[in-house]
Amino acid sequence: MLTTSSPHRPEPLLRLDGVSTWYGRGSGRFRALHDVSLDVHTGQSLALVGKSGSGKSTLMHVLALLDRPDEGRLLVDGVDATRMSPRAIGRIRNQRFGFVFQQFFLVPDATVLDNVVLPLTIAGVPLVERRRRGMAVLEQLRLAEKKDNRATALSGGQKQRVVIARALVTEPDVVFADEPTGNLDSATGDLVADELFRLHRERGITLVLVTHDEDLAARCERHVVIRDGALGRPEVAA
Amino acid sequence: MRTSDLVRAAVGNTLRSRVRTTLTVLALFVGAFTLTLTTALGAGVTDYVTRQVDQLGAQDVLVVTAAADSAPGPARYDPDTSTPSGAGAGPLPGAAAGGALTEADLEDLETVAGISDIEPVRTTAVDYVRVAGGDLDERYQLTIAPTASIARADLAAGEQLAAEGSAHEVLLPEEYVEPLGFADAEDALGTTVLVGVTDVLGEQHEVEAELVGITNPSLLGAGGGAGRALVEELAELQGAGVDQRPLYAVATARFDPSSDDAAVQQIKDAVADLGLSAQTVEDQLGLITTVIAGITGVLNAFAVVALVAAAFGIVNTLLMSVQERTREIGLMKALGMSGGRVFGLFSLEAAFLGLLGSVLGSVVAMAVGTGLNAVLAAGPLSALGGLDVLLFRPGSVLGVVGLIVAIAFLAGTLPARRAARQEPIDALRYE
Ligand SMILES: Nc1ncnc2c1ncn2[C@@H]1O[C@H](COP(=O)(O)OP(=O)(O)OP(=O)(O)O)[C@@H](O)[C@H]1O
Ligand SMILES: [Mg+2]
């Protein structure tokens, strides 16, 4: 199977190797990913595009170690993740990955700051440092004055910025974002996208975006088209 | 996740859903409240009884009675040993009210190894007591405890009865001080009193005796005490020279106070083989303790039922909570929290519920109990000096709290396991 890796590049950050995933069991069993192979290199920005139900979220979840492939392998820096312990996988997700899910998934009763530093709390970072790093990222996203608000008491755009702040607070290597602008009006959507691409440019963060927004996809260096769970011809944006 | 953060999160989550927490804690509260009170009741009564036994100071005394008829129904009359009802009644609670002891029984007792100083105790039924030279209207009924001459009384004033000698000595309970016209217990000491007794022919006699001591109100030493010499005299007068079968209600014997339980049991068995029964003072009090243990046992059973109900309440509350927070759990797991920590979080929430319920329950129980003690001591139980019905020991209160926290924790493991096993991806898909 053809992969996009080239011999000059270093070990890919993430490599899918013949991955298939099924949902359900018995006669209702449904193959959501069909023998997918894909390399993601450090510093890339990659758009997963395809029709609704084509398997974009499923693919992103496998890449992000949130779901184990039923067949095939996922390599993280060349190490087979399907053989890692749940604890080791948890540590990678916590320290190297940042997530923006298709829904906000904010803890409703916690403050904005507590929501943002949740990955640090889970990592066991001391309170003082948590506050410092949380405030730094909130300032970056112009949310500093909202730090003590309940997460529920925010507008949609503000919520999405909180989500992005939470994804960035651990200074991850990769940010996975599933329709990061899907719930937002175009102006707010642009703001959020600008922020992601700024970090991509300035810090070299790897971006894996799921979107069916053409404009957002156009800003990514690389497009991966998925159709009925299988990868179409990969294209490289101009 | 740091343990301190875990604890903070658990406490925060518990306090967030107030209504649910309150309802869950309520059941635990009832359990803790009841358990604290019942253990305090058991401790209070046991402590009081123990102090009474210590005061009796007759740890080496065996009280021997004719064995109680174990067959149900009325006892068969035996012209040799049967006594009119009452005469054989035990001197202390629990002493068997069987037949009487005969001279032959006493001789048999001499053969039992390990006991000495066998003394038959005659019983006397006295009519009244009055102050010598006082008004005839001021006569008061009196019961003489047969073993008073060997036991050590709990004295408010004065001295114990002399073990030897021919002096007529008497001890009176504190409640007699005022009616007999004394200012206080000290004032009464040394007075000559007259003890009235009616003989078998119906004639009344009075015997002079010196009032040597005043006894405290007590659970045990009901009635007055008379020295050995006085009892002999009274018994003689009652017999009125008529030939009587020498019958004794009780005999006392001493055993080596350092003997262990097995040795004491051996002596008791030997006495039982003679058709008699021997009890230590502790055995006799044991009956009281057994009754109290029975009562507290029943109350404890209620408390345990409340706690079992509370445990299901916790399971239910936390299952609801796990259900409700599926997304939050999924998010935390997606962000790298381990299953163990998620388990810890929910177990801690359960333990915290337990802590809330048990601490509140125990504190309220102690407050109510302290009030109750004061009310009881002033009212219904004022006759029993020094009795705190409810005795709260820090150790047992902490034990109750610990037990309930442990129960809550155990109840929490079921929902906590469910939470820990959740796959992040399933939780995040949940709509
Ligand atoms: N839990 C599940 N059980 C069964 N089938 C599922 C499950 N989750 C997703 N699917 C199916 O798998 C396919 C891929 O789903 P996926 O969520 O990856 O789509 P998507 O490309 O992200 O769509 P969208 O753009 O609407 O978010 C769909 O046909 C969907 O119906
Ligand atoms: Mg999707």
pLDDT in tens, B162-200: 777 788 888 888 888 888 888 888 888 888 899 988 887
| Residue B74 confidence (pLDDT) above 90 | no
Q: For B338, which of A90, A95, A99 is closest by C-beta distance?
A: A90
Q: Exposure pattern of A221-235 as b/e (b: 16+ CB <10 Å)?
A: ebbbbbeebbbeeee
CA-closest residue to ligand 1 atom 28: A53
pLDDT score recorded for residue A215: 86
Average pLDDT for residues A8-27, to the nearest whole number?
Answer: 86
B84 pLDDT more than 80: no
**Looking at the DSSP assignment, which residues form a beta bridge with residue A208?**
A46, A176
Record the tokens describing residue A18, joined without a space.
């013949």
- The atom of ligand 1 lying closest to the CA of A50 is 21
Q: Could you read off the pLDDT of A130-149 as tens digits, one per residue? A: 999 999 999 988 889 999 99
Which of B13, B17, B329, B331 to probe by mutation at the A interface, max A CB count within 10 Å?
B331
Complex ipTM tops 0.85: yes
What's the pLDDT band for A177 if we cut at 50, 70, 90? very high
pLDDT at B335 over 50: yes
Average pLDDT on A186-196 reads 84
| pLDDT of B97 higher than 60 | no
Query: How much is the pLDDT for B223?
Result: 75
More confident residue, B26 or B261: B26
Place of tokens 């003590």: A148
Note the pLDDT tens digit of each residue in A33-46.
999 999 999 999 99
Mean pLDDT within A117-139: 94
pLDDT over threshold 90, residue A76: yes
Contact B334/A93, CB-based, under 8 Å?
Answer: yes
pLDDT level of residue B94 (50, 70, 90 thresholds): very low
Can you give the pLDDT at residue B273? Answer: 82
Give me the torsion for CA of B25, B26, B27, B33, rounded to 10°: 100
Contact B416, B320 (CB under 8 A): no
Highest mean pLDDT among B38-47, B280-289, B345-354, B419-428: B345-354
| Distance, first Cα to last Cα, chain A | 25
The tokens for B222 are 């009901």
- Can you give the pLDDT at residue B107? 81
pLDDT of B422 higher than 70:
yes
Question: Which of B8, B335, B430 should be substituted to probe chain A, the one whose Cβ sees the most A Cβ atoms within 10 Å?
Answer: B335
Rounded to the nearest angstrom, the distance between the alpha carbon of A57 and the centre of ligand 2 is 4
Q: Answer whether residue B86 shows pLDDT above 70.
A: no
Q: Which of A226-230, B158-162, B312-316, B325-329 has the highest mean pLDDT?
A: A226-230
Which pLDDT score, from 0 to 100, does residue A203 have? Answer: 87
B9-15: long-range contacts (C-beta < 8 A, 24 or more apart)?
A: B9/B345, B10/B345, B10/B346, B10/B348, B10/B349, B10/B351, B10/B352, B11/B352, B13/B321, B13/B325, B13/B345, B13/B349, B14/B349, B14/B352, B14/B353, B14/B356
> How many angstroms is it from A24 CA to the middle of ligand 1?
12
pLDDT of residue B222: 61
State residue B199 phi and psi, 5-degree precision.
-85, 175
Q: Using an 8 Å Cβ cutoff, are B155 and B214 in contact?
A: yes
The residue ranking higher by pLDDT, A88 or B49, is A88
Structure tokens at A187: 């102006």
Task: Please report residues of A whose CB lies closer than 8 A to that of B428.
Answer: 66, 101, 103, 105
Average pLDDT, chain B: 80
Is the CB–ligand 1 distance for residue B430 below 6 Å? no
Residue A238: the pLDDT is: 42
Nearest ligand, measured from the Cα of A23: 1
Q: From A181, A233, A209, A173, select the one nearest A47 (Cα to Cα).
A: A209
Query: For atom 26 of ligand 1, which residue has the closest CA?
Result: A52
Q: Is residue B93's pLDDT more than 60?
A: no
Residue A50 has pLDDT above 80, yes or no: yes
User: Phi and psi for B246 in degrees, rounded to 5?
Assistant: -70, 105
Per-residue pLDDT at B324:
85
Q: Percentage of chain B surpassing pLDDT 90?
A: 17
pLDDT over threshold 80, residue B2? yes
H or E, element range at B302: helix B281-324
Which of A21, A27, A30, A61 to mutate to test ligand 1, by most ligand atoms within 8 A of the CB atom? A30
Question: How many beta carbons lie within 10 A of that of residue B20, not counting itself?
Answer: 18
Flag the least confident range among B67-76, B240-249, B282-291, B310-319.
B67-76
Is residue B343's pLDDT more than 90?
Answer: yes
B96 CB-near residues (< 8 Å, 6+ apart): B65, B66, B67, B68, B90, B277
| A164: CB partners within 8 A, 6+ apart | A100, A141, A177, A180, A192, A195, A196
Report d(CA B232, CA B250) in Å as an integer: 14
